[in-house]
Amino acid sequence: MVIDHCSISEESFFSLVHNALSVQRADDGFFRINRFTAAQKQEASAHPLYRAMANTAAGACLRFQALSPVKLDIRRINQSLLPRFDEEALDLASLYGRPLDLDESIDVRYQDGRVDYLPLKNGVIEIGASEQVTIFLPLHHQVEVRLSGEAESIGRKPSTYLLLGDSIMQGVGIHHPSQSLGAQLESLMGVSFLNQGLAGTLISPRMVQELPLVQPLGGIIVGYGTNDWVVRENLAELRGEMFALLGRIRKFHPRTPVLVMTPLWRADIQQAKRMGSFAEMQLALMQATKCFPMVSVADGLSLSLRSSYDDGFLHPDNKAVAFLAKGLVRQFG
């Protein structure tokens, strides 16, 4: 396929994209890659952090065989994380209580296993003729991309797993997107992963909606609760929201296996929040799963490599995420 950024269609470009739902083409040939539907983005618009993070391509990648030299133009899109003048928004930064390190790269993985970790900036990435590559797009920053050259798409995996959750699912704590949870699971299991993690979010039932999927869903991993523990008032509310979320999963994906992962270890685990202890929160999440068929629970504490946290507090680093990925694979057995 000859890629001419002046005329390439959304359908042709999307054939090179993995782990995404759709693409949108601008008049200048740059493409935005979407991991959420327009309706889901509207649902996420209640907070500036959610709005910004919902526009990232976390987990998505370009995968192709270059038949000629190929150029990939990168354009960063800066988005405000500040509330609009007329909106009230939860101050997530003060709740987190420390700087959030979102530095990251764009990663190019070659067929022989080499990986180039390239600075995230406006510019051009050049791929040589005959190279087979996977280009991992940023987890936390929105970019638009444009290709020119001749490339052949590489076949998609036979099924897709869906990741639902908060910043840990999206990839906060990971600075190279090729080391994200979805990328690790894809390598271990040989399936695709659609990452619908959203930094800062609470359990959000209405974010579960019908999806225009290319492959059937092989499974769903749900990873919420750590933010709810800090923000929500009581355990009954927590149980109700998780019950509602699982109900919507069953509405749209009635026969898909679901794995609910209780929250990972965090440094303040011994503190009591308004809703109760960390253990009580875990139990409430487990109780919410009891009425649903084909839903299992993974103990997040046993999947936590506590010595390897990027911020020393909440977000696991690449080593801990690799440990988590192997544990989740064992859960799916």
Per residue in 280-295, pLDDT (tens digit) is 999 999 999 999 999 9
Residue 229: which of 273, 170, 192 has the closest Cα? Answer: 273
In the block, residue with structure tokens 């601008």 = 26
Structure tokens at 120: 């995230």
Please say whether the dihedral angle defined by the alpha carbons of residues 294, 300, 301 and 307, taken in this order, is positive or negative. positive
CATH number at residue 121: 3.40.50.1110
How many domains in the chain? Answer: 1
Structure tokens at 304: 């936590």
Q: What is the reported pLDDT for 195?
A: 98
Whole-number Å distance between alpha carbons of 287 and 282: 9
**pLDDT at 85 exceeding the cut of 80:** no
**pLDDT at 93 exceeding the cut of 70:** no
Whole-number Å distance between alpha carbons of 300 and 248: 23
Mean pLDDT of 237-249: 98
Whole-number Å distance between alpha carbons of 195 and 210: 15
Mean pLDDT of 13-23: 96
Per residue in 255-289, pLDDT (tens digit) is 999 999 999 999 999 999 999 999 999 999 999 99
Per residue in 52-80, pLDDT (tens digit) is 999 999 999 999 999 999 999 999 998 76
Taking CA atoms, 199 is separated from 53, 81, 166, 235, in Å, by 7, 12, 5, 22
Residue 82 banded pLDDT, cuts 50, 70, 90: low
Q: Parallel, antiparallel, or unpaired for β 61-66 and 31-34? A: unpaired
**pLDDT at 21 exceeding the cut of 90:** yes
Q: What is the reported pLDDT for 47?
A: 82
Helix, strand, or coil here: 256?
Answer: coil
Q: What is the reported pLDDT for 332?
A: 81
Q: What is the reported pLDDT for 95?
A: 62
* Average pLDDT, rounded, for the chain: 93
Q: What are phi and psi of 193, to 5 degrees?
A: -135, 125
Q: Which residue has the higher pLDDT, 80 or 225?
A: 225
pTM score of the predicted model: 0.94
Residue 19 backbone zone (phi > 0: left; psi -120 to 50: alpha; other: beta): left
Q: What is the reported pLDDT for 83?
A: 61
Q: What is the reported pLDDT for 84?
A: 64
Whole-number Å distance between alpha carbons of 106 and 57: 12
Per residue in 166-187, pLDDT (tens digit) is 999 999 999 999 999 999 999 9
CB 246 within 8 A of CB 296: no
**pLDDT at 138 exceeding the cut of 90:** yes
* Burial (Cβ within 10 Å: 0-12, 13-18, ≥19) of residue 22: middle
* Burial (Cβ within 10 Å: 0-12, 13-18, ≥19) of residue 99: exposed
Residue 8 banded pLDDT, cuts 50, 70, 90: confident
Domain hosting 14: range is 2-332
